């Protein structure tokens, strides 16, 4: 008998088991989970490096590590956290949520999706191997500025290759997200009906496609300067190290938004659910996100006011940078307006979302301070900058990731986390985060430079407070791991809609937990 | 499409296609915007001496083009079932590859396999031990509707 069986029969959950299941899976949920676990393991590794930095800075003088190793820790902490932890975390969210939120069965290119994940572990391995190469790990900072990078040992080459591989993974992931969001929306799911998370990822994917070749080109030119006698950036051969800074920050500033914009998407889903009101100003949120993305291409040189540039350029970059506060303000006001007169409850996802809102706004304001050229000339490369970007990256992106994980965990695994422990995790994270980083504003204002293992005696007290906060924050994340494992092993069964205000289609049209294949047939959205 | 060269006219035809939310114009516009932005960025840096961004931008756009081309090929996929004189034709077009199955109109049966959850599962036409599925892009409700329509049409054709 010749028979051609239906899609829903052919894709029943057969196939390899064990490790081969994960090596070969093309299911967006499996791949999303792998991204999230990978990201968490990188978060712990990068966090351990941060604790080495903070332990050394607990007291003035050199106690624990030598300066070269300290520099390596600052370098790899930054690279691992940005490329290994935060970016993959949001790609994990994208994999899990985009098909379920637009009514698609999977991503547009499932095999490419598998490949883009499996490029990450080799890249992480290269970054880890770089610690053990002859000449020691590179201590150049995550910005990889030449000419120092040209003078480093073999670890620099491994780092460059790792950045290349991570970039390839990002490009493939972006292509998948763009094609999925644009081409696989269910009938009736118009662009302006999509949940905001999908919008933010569509815009982020555009940014990634635009800037990843810039990073790839930059690190390749570093490589050829190191080994093939080119002189793009080597002043000894007539090259221009400042050109590298322009190229790097042309990638690097949009990169900040590549991390922040999906975080905005998560928050835009969580706040309406717990305020029990629709998101205020949906379309203005979409346009504000797009405006932030466009502006992010026009402000890169505010990271390099001190390298020397014409005063007209300084003025331009100062005003252009301040302009970003307008669409960002639109978003913050819309989130606040969504909560206004809402029937709010404060479960863990909402606590992290409000924590995000409060702390990210502080990070935004200190960004405005740093945008002012004469102020930045004073504060450049001080701990004020470190405090600023940790408010954006940790309290912004990481808190949003926590909010998202607590929010969607019941949908993903069909079990509830321990609410009491979740709230404890939030309060510990919130308090210790501020203990670690708020005091760094004072250190920066007092003139303590970043990326040094030793400092003058007058900075001691605030550094001690910061180190205590950092260790408290780090240990609190082990509680997060415990909460997740406890939920997976013995969490209470989640109801169909654990959050009554959650109204996107993954909550209203799919069972909890979500089935292995979400929408085998596209739902009709009205 | 209703009538291939040398064939009798088709008295009934149903076509089922993939859901594609991006039109071919949309595909061109999206790809064009990427080409424009990537070219502008990489050429601007090339003019300042950093020409090595160009090949990466080119490679990326090439991959993006291949992805959009794959989507365009899939967008053309369809299944059709038609009554053409004494024959029932099931035709498929998948990634540029056509497949065609023919059945005798008087012998063919329309089968709806039970689906998970009680709805309509796979819809198929069967005759002389051959069974070919139809309506893989349809929802269970749509498959049940198509099955009713097909049975009516076949009944009408047999009575005429």
CA dist., res. A242 & res. B149, Å (int): 71
Select the residue of B19, B48, B123 nearest A522 (Cβ to Cβ): B19
Domain with A84, as residue range(s), is: 24-508
Residue of B nearest to A169 (CA): B60
Q: Taking a C-beta distance cutoff of 8 angstroms, is the pair A222, A244 a contact?
A: yes
Q: What is the pLDDT at residue B141? A: 78
At B155 the pLDDT is 81
- Count other Cβ atoms within 10 Å, centred on residue A314: 18
Question: Residue A15 falls within a domain, yes or no?
Answer: no
Whether residue B60 is found in the same domain as residue B128: no
User: Which chain B residues touch A8 with a CB distance below 8 Å?
Assistant: 115-116, 121-122
CA–centroid distance for A81 within its chain:
8
| B42, pLDDT greater than 70 | yes
Residue A199 near residue A185, CB atoms below 8 Å: no
Indicate whether B3 belongs to any domain.
Answer: no
Question: How many Å lie between the alpha carbon of B35 and the closest alpha carbon of chain A?
Answer: 9
Same domain, B70 and B122: no
DSSP state for residue A306 in the 8-state scheme: G
Q: Kindly list the residues from chain A whose CB atom is less than 8 angstroms away from the CB atom of residue B136.
A: 6-7
Residue B3 pLDDT more than 70? no
Residue B10 has pLDDT above 80, yes or no: no
Contacts of A172 in chain B (CB under 8 A): 63
Q: Which residues of A are catalytic, by number?
A: 77, 106, 142, 169-170, 253, 255, 257, 268, 302-303, 328, 331, 450
- Chain A hits for B48, Cβ within 8 Å: 243, 246
Residue A213 contacts B, CB cutoff 8 Å: yes
Q: What CA–CA distances, in Å, run from B112 to B117, B150, B153?
A: 14, 11, 16
Shared domain check, B86 and B126: yes
Domain that holds residue B50: 24-75
Say what the pLDDT of residue A19 is: 86
Round to whole Å and give the CA distance between B22 and B28: 10
Local structure of B125: helix, strand or coil:
strand
Residue B96 and residue B131 in one domain: yes
- Closest CB to B121: pick one of A6, A214, A246: A6
A382 DSSP 8-state letter? B
What's B86's domain CATH number?
2.30.29
Residue A271: count of CB within 10 angstroms of its CB = 27
Task: Flag whether A83 is in a domain.
Answer: yes
B50 and B111 share one domain: no
Q: Contact A46/A88 with Cβ under 8 angstroms?
A: no
Q: What is the largest CA-CA distance in chain B?
A: 79
Q: What is the 8-class DSSP label of residue A516?
A: S
Whether the CB-CB separation of A405 and A484 falls below 8 Å is answered with yes
Residue at B1 is within a domain:
no
Which residue in A178, A240, A521, A525 has the most chain B C-beta atoms within 10 A of its own C-beta, making it the best mutation to test that interface?
Answer: A521
- On whether residue B56 sits in a domain, the answer given is yes
Does A524 reside within a domain? no
State how far the Cα of A522 lies from the Cα of A180, in Å rounded to an integer: 13
Put simply, whether A217 touches B (Cβ < 8 Å) is: yes
Q: How far is A182 from chain B (nearest CA, A)?
A: 6
Q: Which residues on neighbouring strands pair with residue B80, listed in sequence order? A: B15, B91
Q: How many CB atoms lie within 10 A of CB A48?
A: 13
Total domain count for chain B?
2
Final residue of a domain: which of B38, B58, B75?
A: B75
Residue A216 belongs to some domain of the structure: yes
- Choose among A1, A186, A213: nearest Cβ to B56: A213
Helix axes A311-323, A348-371, angle to 10 degrees: 160
Domain assignment present for B146: yes
Using CB atoms, which residue from A6, A206, A243 is nearest to B48? Answer: A243
CB contact under 8 Å between A3 and B124, yes or no, is yes
Q: Does residue B2 belong to any structural domain of this protein?
A: no
Alpha-carbon distance B122 to A274, whole Å? 41
Report the C-alpha gap between A105 and A521 in whole angstroms: 7
Q: Cβ(A206)–Cβ(A293) under 8 Å?
A: yes
**Ramachandran category for residue B22: left, alpha or beta (phi over 0 → left; psi -120 to 50 → alpha):** beta
Cα–Cα distance measured from residue A368 to residue A11, given in angstroms and rounded to the nearest whole number: 52
Which stretches of chain A score pLDDT less than 70?
1-15
Say if residues A191 and A113 touch (Cβ distance below 8 Å).
Answer: no
- Same domain? For B67 and B102 the reply is no
What is the DSSP track for B53-98? HHHHHHHHHHHHHHHHHHHHHHHT-EEEEEEETTEEEEEEEETTEE
Find the CATH number of the domain harbouring A221: 1.20.210.10
Which of A251, A252, A250, A228 is closest to A239 using CA atoms? A228
Give the pLDDT confidence of A335-379 residue by residue, as tens digits. 999 999 999 999 999 999 999 999 999 999 999 999 999 999 999
Report helix, strand or coil for A290: helix
SS3 content of chain A, % helix, strand, coil (to 5): 70, 0, 25
Contact A218, A251 (CB under 8 A): yes
Q: Tell me which residues of chain B, numbers 67 to 126, contact chain A at a CB-CB cutoff of 8 Å.
A: 67-68, 70-71, 75, 113, 115-116, 121-124
- Shared-domain flag, residues B155 and B87: yes
Is residue B61 domain-shared with residue B81, that is, in the same domain? no
**Residue closest to A52 by CA, chosen among A66, A32, A73:** A73
Question: Are the beta carbons of A324 and A292 closer than 8 angstroms?
Answer: yes
List the structure tokens of A345. Answer: 């409850």
Number of domains in chain A: 1
- Domain-located, residue A6: no
Using DSSP, state whether A512 is helix, strand or coil.
coil
Judge if B118 and B140 occupy the same domain.
Answer: yes
> In this structure, are residues A106 and A30 in contact, taking their beta carbons and an 8 Å threshold?
no
CB contact under 8 A, B133 and A5: yes
Beta strands B97-104 and B87-94: pairing type?
antiparallel
Shared-domain flag, residues B83 and B142 = yes
B21 vs A189: CB contact, 8 Å cut-off?
yes
pLDDT exceeds 60 at position B87: yes
Q: What angle do CA A243, A248, A251 make, to 5 degrees?
A: 130
> Are A250 and B41 inside 8 Å of each other by CB?
yes
pLDDT bucket at B112, cuts 50 / 70 / 90: confident
**3-state SS track over A128-169:** HHHHHCCCCCCCCCCCCCCCHHHHCCHHHHHHHHHHHHHHHH
Chain A touched by B29 (CB under 8 Å): no
Most B CBs within 10 A among A106, A213, A298, A523, hence the mutation to make, goes to A213
Looking at the structure, do residues B115 and B149 belong to the same domain, yes or no?
A: yes
- Distance separating alpha carbons of residues A400 and A267, to the nearest angstrom: 6
Mind listing the pLDDT tens digit for each residue in A232-286? 999 999 999 999 999 999 999 999 999 999 999 999 999 999 999 999 999 999 9
Q: In this structure, is residue A16 part of a structural domain?
A: no
Inside any domain, residue B4? no
Q: A134 lies in a domain?
A: yes
Residues B36 and B92 in one domain: no
* B46, burial (CB in 10 Å: exposed 0-12, middle 13-18, buried 19+): middle
What was the pLDDT predicted at A15? 65
Residue A180 domain-assigned (yes or no)? yes
Note whether B53 contacts A: Cβ–Cβ < 8 A: yes
DSSP-derived letter for residue A305 is G
Q: In the listed set B59, B75, B91, which residue is the last one of a domain according to the structure?
A: B75
């Amino acid at each position: 008998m010749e028979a051609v069986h239906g899609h829903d029969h052919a894709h029943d959950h057969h196939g390899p088991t064990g490790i081969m299941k994960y090596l070969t899976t093309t299911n967006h949920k499996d791949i999303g989970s792998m991204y999230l676990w990978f990201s968490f393991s990188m978060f712990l590794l990068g966090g351990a490096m941060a604790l080495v930095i903070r332990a050394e800075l607990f007291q003035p003088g050199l106690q624990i590590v030598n300066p070269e190793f300290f520099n390596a820790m600052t370098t790899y902490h930054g690279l691992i956290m940005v490329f290994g932890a935060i970016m993959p975390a949001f790609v994990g969210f994208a994999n899990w949520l985009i098909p379920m939120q637009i009514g698609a069965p999977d991503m547009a290119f499932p095999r490419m999706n598998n490949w883009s994940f499996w490029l990450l572990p080799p890249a992480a391995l290269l970054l880890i191997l770089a610690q053990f190469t002859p000449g020691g790990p590179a201590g150049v900072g995550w910005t990889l500025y030449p000419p120092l990078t040209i003078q480093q040992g073999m670890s620099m080459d491994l780092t460059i290759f790792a950045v290349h591989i991570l970039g390839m993974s990002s490009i493939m992931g972006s292509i998948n997200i763009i094609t999925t969001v644009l081409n696989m929306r269910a009938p009736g799911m118009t662009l302006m009906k999509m949940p905001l998370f999908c919008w933010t990822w569509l815009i982020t994917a555009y940014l990634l496609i635009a800037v990843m070749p810039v990073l790839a080109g930059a690190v390749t030119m570093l490589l050829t300067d190191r080994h093939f006698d080119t002189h793009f950036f080597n002043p000894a051969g007539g090259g221009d190290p400042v050109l590298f800074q322009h190229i790097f920050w042309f990638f690097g500033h949009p990169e900040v938004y590549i991390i922040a914009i999906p975080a905005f998407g998560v928050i835009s889903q969580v706040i309406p659910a717990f305020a029990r009101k629709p998101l205020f100003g949906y379309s203005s949120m979409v346009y504000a996100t797009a405006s932030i993305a466009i502006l992010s291409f026009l402000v890169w040189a505010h990271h390099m006011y001190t390298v020397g540039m014409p005063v007209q350029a300084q003025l331009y970059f100062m005003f252009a940078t301040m302009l970003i506060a307008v669409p960002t303000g639109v978003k913050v006001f819309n989130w606040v307006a969504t909560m206004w007169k809402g029937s709010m409850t404060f479960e863990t996802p909402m606590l992290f979302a409000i924590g995000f809102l409060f702390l990210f706004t502080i990070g935004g304001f200190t960004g405005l301070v740093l945008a002012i050229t004469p102020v930045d000339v004073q504060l450049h490369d001080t701990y004020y900058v470190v405090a600023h970007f940790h408010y954006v990256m940790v309290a912004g992106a990481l808190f949003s990731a926590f909010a998202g994980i607590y929010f969607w965990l019941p949908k993903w695994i069909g079990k509830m986390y321990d609410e009491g422990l979740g709230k404890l995790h939030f309060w510990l994270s919130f308090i210790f985060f501020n203990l670690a980083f708020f005091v760094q504003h004072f250190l920066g204002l007092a003139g303590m430079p970043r990326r040094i293992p030793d400092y003058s005696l007058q900075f001691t007290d605030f550094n001690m407070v910061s180190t205590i906060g950092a260790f408290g924050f780090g240990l609190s994340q082990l509680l997060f791991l415990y909460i997740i494992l406890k939920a997976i092993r013995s969490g209470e069964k989640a109801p169909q809609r654990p959050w009554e205000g959650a109204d996107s289609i993954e909550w209203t049209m799919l069972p909890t937990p979500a089935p292995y294949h979400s929408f085998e047939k596209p739902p009709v959205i009205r | 499409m209703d009538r291939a060269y040398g064939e009798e006219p088709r008295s009934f035809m149903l076509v089922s296609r993939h859901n594609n939310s991006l039109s071919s114009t949309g595909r061109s516009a999206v790809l064009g915007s990427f080409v424009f932005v990537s070219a502008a960025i990489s050429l601007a840096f090339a003019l300042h001496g950093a020409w090595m961004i160009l090949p990466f931008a080119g490679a990326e756009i090439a991959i993006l083009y291949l992805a959009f081309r794959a989507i365009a090929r899939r967008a053309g996929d369809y299944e059709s079932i038609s009554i053409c004189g004494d024959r029932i034709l099931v035709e498929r077009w998948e990634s540029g590859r056509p497949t065609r199955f023919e059945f005798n109109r008087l012998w063919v049966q329309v089968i709806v396999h039970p689906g998970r959850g009680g709805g309509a599962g796979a819809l198929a036409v069967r005759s002389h031990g051959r069974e070919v599925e139809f309506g893989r892009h349809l929802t269970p409700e749509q498959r049940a509707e198509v099955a009713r329509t097909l049975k009516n049409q076949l009944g009408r054709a047999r009575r005429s």
